Chains A and B, each alone.
Chain A
Amino acid sequence: MCASAKYNTRGPALIPRMKTKHRIYYITLFSIVLLGLIATGMFQFWPHSIESSSDWTVEKRSVHDVPVVKLPAESPIPERGDLSCRMHTCFDVYRCGFNPKNKIKVYIYSLKKYVDEYGMLVSNTISREYNELLTAISDSDFYTDDVNRACLFVPSIDVLNQNTLRVKETAQALAQLSRWDRGTNHLLFNMLPGGPPDYNTALDVPRDRALLAGGGFSTWTYRQGYDVSIPVYSPLSVEVELPERRPGASVVIPEEKMPEMYSILQSIPQRQIEEMQRQARWFWEAYFRSMKAIALATLQIINDRIYPYAAMSYEEWNDPPAVKWSSVSNPLFLPLIPPQSQGFTAIVLTYDRVESLFRVITEVSKVPSLSKLLVVWNNQNKNPPEDSLWPKIRVPLKVVKTTENKLSNRFFPYDEIETEAVLAIDDDIIMLTSDELQFGYEVWREFPDRLVGYPGRLHLWDHEMNKWKYESEWTNEVSMVLTGAAFYHKYFNYLYTYKMPGDIKNWVDAHMNCEDIAMNFLVANVTGKAVIKVTPRKKFKCPECTAIDGLSLDQTHMVERSECINKFASVFGTMPLKVVEHRADPVLYKDDFPEKLKSFPNIGSL
């Protein structure tokens, strides 16, 4: 076809070439006709798998002993399909009601054999495919045997293949169903619509308001948001209105662009072809492979329309399990830098080291952006000091008394926390300067979805022991920060308290250790991001030991922490921690520049 245009440009050579061109056209035309005939012939004799046969035995719905219903010739016929139907006009939502599970109830009419006045069968008996479909529904959570509680009705009249049924009589059979009511809330499944001579793209059986789950809709017969487009369960797959939700698994090319199809297909990069193949295979496996999959997907689609606020998300529908597993959807996904003015709330967990606690309070209160200080009093045997004894500071100071001495109290989302930013700080961290803390808060504002902390730690794979190992040495890498001094978003308190996977929370409280590692795991797991360590390493007063410094205790401590990592990795089913080689310093840190002009001059000094 492009050839003709090319020849025209050749000028003088045009006339002698015309003959060849004509010849080619004739040969082409002839071949097309011939091939067309062959193709049509093959198509006609191709075995259709939906062809129903009456001789197989249906296990659940035996066709031999079902009641026979005689349809008088003048019995009513439903209106033709109402093309203006939408869920809010033709569907009776009151039948579905509000229920905590947000699940529709589906009733299946009992099987009957329909005959006309002369005793002739209206349709072939139920096909194997339709039987599988009904079985799948009756085995599912959607099924109810109580017709009064049902929200959706599925007739046991098989209209999968229009060629196997008598249109008018089938319609009469539908109309006499006990709850038909113009087809409201009735669902019909059809895969091969139309018949000669029109080959309509939707089922020809008059169905009034009944929903149609059909294959091969065109966009004119498809009632958007009402009908459900399903695939045809057959090797001869027909797709016009593509089955619902179909990203990344097919290339849609307008028919007009047929001539360019080759170049379009060729232009798709290999990487994307592989993605599409994976996607297509997953769709097939999940939704199209069997009648069961098709039936359940259809019901889920209708369910999603009736309870849209509880609908499965696009990702749940479309992402293969492998992607769901590895992908991360950050709960704090909005890229923004929270305003400095809000400030942060410092939370100090304490037991009875009052003197040290007061020093921490005094130090932290010097930080300009501190807006509130919260002391979590974890000692049930002793009351916190009297009000008059506490240091006088410029911001509100609140003391929360806990009912049990648990480490997880540090991460409870107290109502008293009114800021987004939280600074968790131990009652013995007195070595951090005001500049360092303020700078940490500024860095948190740039990374509000991360843990931003001071002492960094690392996890390593121990090849000898074949398990994870905890490392606190001077390393070039960081994968955790200690929550003895760390900024993070209040939301993570909520996550820690209510959404911590497995028994980690109880385990931490029982062992009185590793709450910080658990928090690092949790945040890395939901955000897929690494921690930010700020400012150079300082000599912390053994931030993770309890009371006594000593080699043996230190070693037990390390062993215990390593065990935590292994335990958490197995609960999470993966190692979410990310290793990085950078830390954040003020822009002019250690630069040859007058100290008094630096925003944060007092960094790293002891």
Chain B
Amino acid sequence: MQARGRYLLAGLAACLLAGLYLRPGRRRAAAASPPEPEPEPRRGSALAAGPAEAGGGRRARGGAGPAGGRCRMETCFDFSRCRRHGFRVYVYPARGRLSEPQRRVLRSLRGSRFYTPEPGRACLLVLPLERGPRSPDAPARPPHWNGGRNHLLFSLHRDGPLGFEPGQALLAQAGPGAPGFRPRFDVSLPLFPRRLPQRGGARAGPFPAPRRYLLVFEGQRSPSGLGAQTRAALHNGRDLLLLTACRPGPGARCDRPAAAADDARYDSQELMQNSSFCLVPWGRRLGFFRFLEALQAACIPVLLSNGWELPFSEVIDWNKAAIIGDERLLLQIPSITRSIDHDRVLALRQQTQFLWETYFSSVEKIVLTTLEIIQDRIQAHISRNHVMWNAQPGGLYVLPQFSTSLADFPFYYCALGRSPAKEFTAVIQAASPLLSQSQPIVRLILAVAKSKYCTQIVVLWSCEKPPPPRSWWPSVPVPFSVVEGEHKTMSSRFFPYDLIRTDAVLSLDEDTVLSTNEVDFAFTVWCSFPERIVGYPARSHYWDSSKGWWAYTSKWTNEYSMVLTGAAFYHRYYHYLYTFYLPGSLHSMVDQMANCEDILMNFLVSAVTKLPPIKVTQKKQYKETMMQQGSKTSRWADPEHFAQRQACMNSFASWFGFMPLVHSQMRLDPVLFKDQVSILRKKYRDIERL
């Protein structure tokens, strides 16, 4: 008791001293009132010795907090709601009529992994905005409204103006920098066109090659004013094309109808496809659409965007994908675009493709990005950094809850100037009891343990019988452990056990037959491709147009798109992604069938990397034993097993919204594989021996 008291005392004193010494300015900040009085907010709650709940309660009692216009996350958002159940999102049932974009946003929200049907467990509550006139005082008072606290509103262009004060609700809004935009509180959205797909979205095109036009703009102008002057000053008909259809307005006539006729030769999409830069003027709705269109066409947007809050500008570094100009300096635009060198144009254009594909190509991506931005604010100490948002594979596939350090992910080795550590953990899935020392699993353990890169062997015991004592297992020179999963399911083989500490994981089935040579070679290959799956037996898929579905094949083919995870290297991050990124529906599908977990893993990794897995060479005997031995492998011949895998592929493809698998036509062999030189010169000679 006394000890506890002392700790409490010491803790409080430390808190206080920390508060006083490290951040005296904050104390001032809280007490200050620039330029109008700021409600006495948060300082007290941190230093008050009450429990967290009391702090939250006090604030709620204390009234509404700051007026909505001056909201920041720290003052208008109740973090304690997110602490108990994590970042969960509730969506109110919609009663009125919804606009099409609003409905599509809600669909994506309900389908996301953050969705919860219970408002009590939600950290964020999304209120659908109904169409038509709205009452000026808050939207019909939903049950948990509480001044808008922890609420999110998607205000999309077809919903018309908001019509009421959002209060403390976060506003995800597309539109020009409304004066009320609250930095790091509201989220700026893109205006998305009607034909944007719900999920998936188009893949990026080839590397951009130099294009015919330097800068294009296509739009409307009024006969007088900036539009006409701009055109006159910039258009040269050669590589600067400003095609504006004149639109007579009240009291103004078009004096140059010839120009409009001239312009009709060009198609706007085609222009964008053929130009390096696209002018996107400020403020008009047309400009917003043009912006995404330009991005998609790999045409670098030249934004004249004074005061325009660019989409997701909180996390996206637009300087890497667009030229941001000052609309007052419009006439400098040609010289600016000409001064940008070839290298930079190439980088900018690739970045437009990356951003388009990662954040804007489907409604779901836009919605998820919004949610992830808000989640990053709530968990500021475990949020994505600039690189994670702005480099491959993008923020949606990088979960900071796994790690906030770039070095722990498979994607940034080059950017960090590092290479993967030369060590791996072998994870063996054991489903049948250990009866004799001649079982394949024993031979497998011995062969893998002999690899100089192997630093640990983990057996995942998924057999119903209890695991045998340590003495039954072969003795190996590396740490060896047997893990008995809580749920002996298929998905548990990809659970991110804390035990696995190396970046590389060698995933194995108990009946896999491998030689040390093969393991060593595959591992050195993986070190060159740490973001991919590198393995031995491969499978392929194709589109069966007669049946209208994706077909799975295990025949010997000239190309492959999957590598079986019964014998494959991959980065341990994929365990985490498999477990926490994929939805429960896919996990339970895999568990119920006790099948397809490897297909799902291949889908996931290819969706992240956009690249095929890598097959390395294997001894010929491997395939034969695969077909004969063991309980599991015999299923390969089972037609029902095969039908299941086919069904899995189609379900997975529909969840992803596209087919992420990519074909490869090559296999990696040792440099001297089967070459006409003495076998003694070859490093991986066992691979050739039968």
The chain A residues found within 8 Å of chain B, CB to CB, are 1-5, 20, 23-25, 27-28, 31-32, 35-36, 39-40, 43, 80-81, 83-84, 86-89, 93-94, 98, 100, 194, 198-202, 215-216, 218-221, 224, 232, 236, 238-240, 247-248, 251-259, 264, 268-269, 271-272, 275, 308-309, 311, 313-314, 318, 323, 325-339, 342, 420, 439, 442-443, 446, 448, 456, 474-478, 489-491, 494, 499, 527-530, 533-534, 536-537, 578, 580-593, 597-600
Contact = CB atoms under 8 A, between A and B. Distances in A.
A271 B407 contact: yes
A586 B33 contact: no
A80 B335 CA distance: 38
19 contacts: A1-B51, A43-B20, A88-B326, A100-B339, A194-B32, A199-B29, A232-B25, A251-B381, A255-B45, A256-B80, A264-B381, A327-B415, A332-B350, A339-B206, A443-B666, A477-B671, A489-B207, A582-B669, A585-B669
A474 B668 contact: no
B5 A219 contact: no
B4 A3 contact: yes
A216 B417 CA distance: 35
Given A81-B35, A198-B32, 9 more contacts: A25-B49, A80-B35, A98-B332, A199-B31, A314-B386, A336-B205, A537-B675, A589-B669, A599-B558
B34 A32 contact: no
Given A448-B207, A587-B558, A86 B675 contact: no
B666 A342 contact: no
Interface stretch (B165-173, B315-323, B364-372, B478-486): B315-323
B21 A39 contact: yes
A224 B188 CA distance: 15
Interface string B105-132: 0000000000000000000000000000
Given A308-B324, A530-B528, A194 B28 contact: yes
B97 interface: no
Nearest to B44: A255
A593 B207 contact: no
Interface string B172-216: 000000010001100000000000000000011111010000000
A94 B330 CA distance: 11
A445 B475 CA distance: 46
B667 interface: yes
Contacts of A24: 5, 8-9
A268 B403 CA distance: 9
B307 A239 contact: no
A257 B391 CA distance: 30
Contacts of B350: 332-334
Contacts of A35: 13, 16-17
Interface string B330-349: 00100110011011001100
Given A240-B26, A533-B671, A93 B415 contact: no
Contact of B665 (A336, A456, A599): A599
Interface stretch (B286-294, B606-614, B645-653): B606-614
Contacts of B340: 309
B579 to A, nearest CB: 19
Interface stretch (B151-159, B443-451, B505-513, B676-684): B676-684
Nearest to B12: A28
B578 interface: no
Contacts of A257: 79, 381
Contact of A28 (B17, B49, B558): B49
Nearest to B181: A224
Contact of A247 (B33, B306, B386): B386
A253 B611 CA distance: 38
B556 A36 contact: no
B50 interface: yes
Contacts of B15: 258-259
B404 interface: yes
Cβ-closest 5 pairs across A and B? A326-B417, A199-B28, A238-B25, A88-B306, A599-B558
Given A218-B29, A328-B414, A331-B343, A582 B380 contact: no
A4 B55 CA distance: 14
B615 interface: yes
Nearest to B177: A86
B217 interface: no
Interface string B23-60: 11111110111110010001101110111100100000
Interface string B380-419: 1100011100111000000000011101100000111110
B666 A43 contact: no
A255 B74 contact: yes
A299 B675 CA distance: 63
A583 B668 contact: yes
Nearest to B681: A474
A534 B73 CA distance: 55
B231 interface: no
A253 B381 contact: yes
B637 interface: no
Contact of A20 (B5, B524, B669): B5
A194 B35 CA distance: 12
Contact of B615 (A25, A442, A587): A587
Given A256-B55, A334-B354, A587-B666, A446 B612 contact: yes
A536 B556 CA distance: 21
